[in-house]
């Protein structure tokens, strides 16, 4: 069983309350930081840990922190990105719902490290019940002197607020999130300037994912050096994986980076294998944006090595034969799954979520959905496969933010690895129509 640093106490009753959280090592890291460390020492510890952003991009957190501009007399902010909306990803929801104080403790320590006195947790609006859980936990923290003025007698002040989103995937992009937090449409900003220089209200700002901020707590508890010993190479520490799809045990798993993909899918400690005794067909390993891989390539690299759950191993082979760890949204498909139809749900998603600012993304996502609809309706021709390829290639790299890439990559990968299935939709549309109804496939009457 893998070492746990974040979900050590997630099943303890009442762990969502301050009292129980404190009994289980809670707020020890904060005490250590405030009483015995300078802010720059905290940053140094995070650098040593090798922690990489857990939202999807995997950028080294300590380095991101060190970019923060510190002009005299200008307030700085820490904003937690809890806009979790990448299809297949639900780990942040689990963490905030179960152990809200872990995030709050991480927010206080990180704010201290960055010199921020007002910080925000931006939570997607659909998670309103989680917002209520966080607000209650924040109230408890204020009452216990863990937030507000002069925290634990250290002289450090922090106000922490929760901000709701209102239904927009794009607000997970950090500059769109800041626009939204300023009360505007979530249109990503042109960079530079980066948020580290001009972020919230034009002030220097760091935006970090929920899991990233929570990971700062165990890093201080065990030390950055010890944290870096967990995992393999530049994939240090543990990662929360959201496992879903046709598996026996869907859910959130904390893994030590480096667990073999095969073990993750088939071991009873994790996904527990494929449902109903079916075979594995394909996996989307890191949320909807990353390239889908067929069973053989997700289990072994093109070189024949065992594929591991690390940033490096999953991306081995580039996009030709590899994928990405991304947000850790691990979607497993059994042998009956239509890759084309699944791709259609992704295409519809990106069309719905494009902010509309850049034409390649606004128009391209709409065209990709329309072309895929033709396949599903049995009206596509072979030329449409090439057209679809052409459209996706004209979005990638041509937009202000990565949503365009995120919309294009899954399309490219599906054609790259499953072209025969698109051809099947063209050649035998009648045989395709009836598949893909889970209930019917499993003889559940509709």
**Residues of this chain that bind other proteins (CB under 8 A):** 84-90, 92-93, 120, 124-129, 132, 159, 161, 163-169, 180-186, 201, 242-246, 250-252, 284, 288, 329, 331, 333, 337, 341-342, 345-346, 348-349, 352-353, 355, 436-440, 446
CB of 99 closer than 8 Å to CB of 140: no
Q: For residues 64 and 124, which CB has a smaller minimum distance to other proteins in the complex?
A: 124
User: Measured between alpha carbons, how far is 294 from 316 in angstroms, rounded to an integer?
Assistant: 15
User: At its nearest, how many Å lie between other proteins and the CB of residue 88?
Assistant: 5
375: which residues sit within 8 A by CB, 6+ positions away?
A: 340, 344, 384, 422, 425, 426
User: Measured between alpha carbons, how far is 245 from 254 in angstroms, rounded to an integer?
Assistant: 18
Tokens of 222: 């065990």
User: At its nearest, how many Å lie between other proteins and the CB of residue 398?
Assistant: 22
User: Measured between alpha carbons, how far is 305 from 382 in angstroms, rounded to an integer?
Assistant: 35
DSSP 179-195: HHHTTS--PPPPSSSPT
* Region for 273 from its dihedrals, namely left if φ exceeds 0, alpha if ψ lies in -120 to 50, beta otherwise: left
Q: For residues 164 and 260, which CB has a smaller minimum distance to other proteins in the complex?
A: 164
User: At its nearest, how many Å lie between other proteins and the CB of residue 181?
Assistant: 6
CB of 208 closer than 8 Å to CB of 53: yes
CB of 312 closer than 8 Å to CB of 233: yes
Q: For residues 89 and 313, which CB has a smaller minimum distance to other proteins in the complex?
A: 89
Q: For residues 223 and 267, which CB has a smaller minimum distance to other proteins in the complex?
A: 267
User: At its nearest, how many Å lie between other proteins and the CB of residue 353?
Assistant: 7
User: At its nearest, how many Å lie between other proteins and the CB of residue 194?
Assistant: 20
Q: For residues 64 and 77, which CB has a smaller minimum distance to other proteins in the complex?
A: 77
User: Measured between alpha carbons, how far is 367 from 388 in angstroms, rounded to an integer?
Assistant: 8
Q: For residues 1 and 446, which CB has a smaller minimum distance to other proteins in the complex?
A: 446
CB of 294 closer than 8 Å to CB of 261: no
* Region for 167 from its dihedrals, namely left if φ exceeds 0, alpha if ψ lies in -120 to 50, beta otherwise: left
User: At its nearest, how many Å lie between other proteins and the CB of residue 74?
Assistant: 12
User: At its nearest, how many Å lie between other proteins and the CB of residue 345?
Assistant: 5
Q: For residues 62 and 172, which CB has a smaller minimum distance to other proteins in the complex?
A: 172
Q: For residues 34 and 361, which CB has a smaller minimum distance to other proteins in the complex?
A: 361
CB of 42 closer than 8 Å to CB of 62: no
Residue 306: C-alpha distances to residues 80, 136, 316, 335 (Å): 35, 45, 11, 21
User: At its nearest, how many Å lie between other proteins and the CB of residue 211?
Assistant: 13
Q: Could you give the residue ranges of the DSSP H alpha helices within 37-71? A: 39-49, 61-66
């Amino acid at each position: 069983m893998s070492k746990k640093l974040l979900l050590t106490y997630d099943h303890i009753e009442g762990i969502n309350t301050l009292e129980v959280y404190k009994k289980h090592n809670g707020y020890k890291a904060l005490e250590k930081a405030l009483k015995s460390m300078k802010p720059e020492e905290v940053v140094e510890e995070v650098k040593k840990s090798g922690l990489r952003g857990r939202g999807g991009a995997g950028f080294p957190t300590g380095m991101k922190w060190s970019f923060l501009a510190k002009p005299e007399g200008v307030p700085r902010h820490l904003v937690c990105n809890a806009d979790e909306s990448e299809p297949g990803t639900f780990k942040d929801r689990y963490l905030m719902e179960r152990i809200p104080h872990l995030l709050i403790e991480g927010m206080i320590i990180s704010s201290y490290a960055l010199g921020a006195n007002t910080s925000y947790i931006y939570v997607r609006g659909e998670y309103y019940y989680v917002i209520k859980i966080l607000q209650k936990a924040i109230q408890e923290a204020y009452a216990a002197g863990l937030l507000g003025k002069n925290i634990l007698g250290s002289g450090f002040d922090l106000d922490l607020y929760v901000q709701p989103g209102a239904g927009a995937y794009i607000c997970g992009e950090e500059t769109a999130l800041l626009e939204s937090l300023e009360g505007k449409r979530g249109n990503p900003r042109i960079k530079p300037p980066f948020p580290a220089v001009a972020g919230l209200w034009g002030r220097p700002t760091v935006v970090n994912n929920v899991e990233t901020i929570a990971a700062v707590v165990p890093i201080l508890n065990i030390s950055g050096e010890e944290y870096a010993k967990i995992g393999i190479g530049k994939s240090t520490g543990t990662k929360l994986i959201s496992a879903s799809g046709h598996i026996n045990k869907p859910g959130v798993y904390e893994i030590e980076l480096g667990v073999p993909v095969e073990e993750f899918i088939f071991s009873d400690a994790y996904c527990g294998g494929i449902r109903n005794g079916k075979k594995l067909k394909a996996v989307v390993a890191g949320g909807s944006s990353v390239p889908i891989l067929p069973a053989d390539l997700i289990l072994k690299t093109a070189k024949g090595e065992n594929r591991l759950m690390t940033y490096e191993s999953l991306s081995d082979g580039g996009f030709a034969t590899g994928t990405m760890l991304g947000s850790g949204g691990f979607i497993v498909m059994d042998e009956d799954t239509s890759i084309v139809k699944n791709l259609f749900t992704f295409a519809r998603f990106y069309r719905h979520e494009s902010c509309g600012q850049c034409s390649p993304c606004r128009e391209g996502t709409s065209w990709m959905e329309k072309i895929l609809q033709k396949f599903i309706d049995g009206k596509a021709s072979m030329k449409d496969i090439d057209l679809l390829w052409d459209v996706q290639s004209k979005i990638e790299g041509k937009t202000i933010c990565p949503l365009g890439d995120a919309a294009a990559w899954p399309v490219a990968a599906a054609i790259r690895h499953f072209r025969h299935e698109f051809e099947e939709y063209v050649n035998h549309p009648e045989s395709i129509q009836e598949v893909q109804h889970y209930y019917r496939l499993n003889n559940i009457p509709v």
